[in-house]
Structure 1
């Protein structure tokens, strides 16, 4: 057996699943990028540190990928094709869409596999601070019947404006302790659409503007159920959820009382995304939540910017709707989401979503 035969035998017993290809793609792409971009990430990765290390050597050395799995450390070696010294290799730009390399299902599976690494490690008395920055459109129609003038359909709006605001969620290390959510008094109009929009928006701001935060405190969870069910975020809430993806999808359907199949995908996707953005579920359940999204129709890769892959979910309902979910490929955290229903307005650009959430997470020592 010559050397080439031995090289061909390397990794012959490793199953090349779609998820494994996706994971390798992200690590190799990261190795090709300038590493100065890593300094922008203020994220933590808990439970034992980094899940994969990529070491690249020049000349004839092999690329070695070490991946931590529940069964131990799997080391895979790939020998690159030697590059002639007179050939300059240009790394691909970080915004290259990966649709030809990995699909949306593989992106979600990769995030699911990272779930144990993205669970925060808190000391007694500490809190996970989830900061949510909101952007949303307010529409105006003076002729709307049986509703406020600020709730018109987007396609019929006479004017509109883009608003930003934020709220912070403090999740205690002892999940049975007091959860705190603070709605900040920072509502601001940042863009205007249509005639008289600035004057109309100023009037709207006078009606909704606050000078003091609203503080919500709930023992052992986030939102107490109105009628029956579990407090969102409580141990009982998460314990009731199956870990099998299809069974979990059925659970969301029943728990949300879905009867109208036309809007089922929209409601199910939004419920799962909100749970993922909170990042409070156990790691095995968070992994199942990502896999639930892969079961929904219309999921596709929309764009890639650096470490962030944005998936879109196109929903065929009256007027159509598009939801998006942005995932950090290195941490497995959901860092953003958006929703746009029935665009096509002559006033508001189609590129502006109805609502967007940008999420960041840190560990802090106290809560308000």
Structure 2
């Protein structure tokens, strides 16, 4: 038996939970290899005046912790949002980011009834439009020349990475080794790879190599063979511990990265969560567009 999922946007107002499927999955390595093999197209180059458009439709856990005034009150919702970014051909020029808290909200649980658990409004960073060269939307000082040392927003960052899956897998381990040792988190290489894919900026050839590298990591399994994120269906490749399962959703037919999902484990981070509860998901869409504000 492998996990399935009730649609997050079902409109019930309650937290989605993992279901089940009787379909026998292939191995994670088989699915990731199939997805890597399916990536045959090259990335569409940007012409002058064009932008990379990256849209993230997200349902994320919004935790309201105990306070001095209400020390016994602790609860969480699943909250819907949209994040859109327009990235220019020359990344040293101005980027635009728009964030919106959407109407969707689902009760995850708490130490009090939902009727006694108001959902706070969005913070300033959760909504509005921001502009900044190099994607520096919240910086108090201008970014350095050339946007500084290349990071995951910079094409040079990806150009420098090896396309050899073995080398790439070791790079993921080395890159996260300090944090893994400090926090005892063995699955950080997988989490870091998902964060890179979430940017929407990983070139097609590197995405294929990254899938093959993920297949070499310890503990990577198939959690679900049919996850529907905003109408796009893919396979969930996952790592998990007793607290949580983190899933990469990929379409093995064409190699598309669809998004990610998190599911509560057998000992959830919050005791009021039932094991198998979907605690968040993101659907990622990337396109080349002709201007800021364009989405197709």
Residue of structure 2 in register with 1:182 after alignment: 98
| Alignment partner, residue 220 of structure 2 | 299
User: Are positions 1:288 and 2:203 aligned together?
Assistant: no
Matched, 1:138 2:52: no
Structure 1 277/141 Cα, relative in aligned 2: closer, same or farther at 3 Å?
closer
The 1-side partners of 2:80 and 2:169 are apart by: 32
Contact 1:125 1:366 in 2 (8 A): yes
Q: TM-score, normalised by structure 1?
A: 0.58
Secondary structure of 2:278's match? coil
**2:195 maps to what in 1?**
274
2:168 to 245, 248, 255: 248
Q: For 1:211-222, what aligned pairs fall within 5 Å after superposition? A: 213-219=128-134
2:4 aligns with none
* Stretches of structure 2 lacking an aligned partner (at least 5 in a row): 1-20
Task: Specify which of 256, 261, 276 is matched with residue 351 of structure 1.
Answer: 276
The answer as to whether partners of 2:77 and 2:108 remain within 8 angstroms in 1 is: yes
**Cα distance in structure 1, aligned partners of 2:155 and 2:285:** 23
Q: Distance in 2 between matches of 1:164 and 1:230?
A: 31
> What corresponds to 1:238 in structure 2?
158
Equivalent position of 2:86 in the other structure: 170
Which residue of the partner structure matches residue 109 of structure 2?
193
1:287 CA displacement: 1.4
Q: Secondary structure at the match of 1:117?
A: coil
171 and 257 in structure 1: CA distance in 2 versus 1, 3 angstrom threshold: farther
Specify whether residues 242 and 273 from structure 1 end up closer, same or farther in structure 2 by C-alpha distance, changes over 3 A only: same
Normalized per residue, the structure richer in strand is 2
Match in the other structure for 1:17? none
Runs of 4+ that moved beyond 6 A: 220-226
Structure 1 pair 275/300, CA: closer, same or farther in 2 (3 Å)? same
1:23 alignment counterpart: none
Could you tell me how far 1:328 is from its partner in structure 2?
1.8
Question: Unmatched 5+ residue regions in structure 1?
Answer: 1-94, 150-155
Q: Which of 79, 96, 104 is the equivalent residue of 2:28?
A: 104
Tell me, in whole angstroms, the C-alpha distance in 2 between the residues paired with 1:110 and 1:221: 37
Matched residues, number: 259
Distance 1:232 1:223 in 2: 17
CA displacement 1:168-210 (0-9 Å, x = unmatched): 12233445544433222437533353434344333x22x6378
Please list the CA deviations of residues 136-155 of structure 1 after superposition, one character each: whole Å capped at 9, or x if unmatched.
223344268xxx98xxxxxx
Give the structure-2-normalised TM-score.
Answer: 0.71
Distance 1:353 1:218, change over 3 A: farther
> For 1:294 and 1:353, how far apart are their aligned partners in 2?
24
**Aligned ranges 1:1-368 → 2 under 5 Å:** 97-99=23-25, 102-117=26-41, 119-142=43-66, 158-174=74-90, 177-186=93-102, 188-191=104-107, 193-194=109-110, 195-202=112-119, 204-205=120-121, 208=123, 213-219=128-134, 229-256=149-176, 258-261=178-181, 263-305=184-226, 308-316=233-241, 319-340=242-263, 342-343=267-268, 347-368=272-293
- Which structure would you say has the larger Rg? 1
CA shift, 1:220, in A, is: 7.5
More helix by share: 1
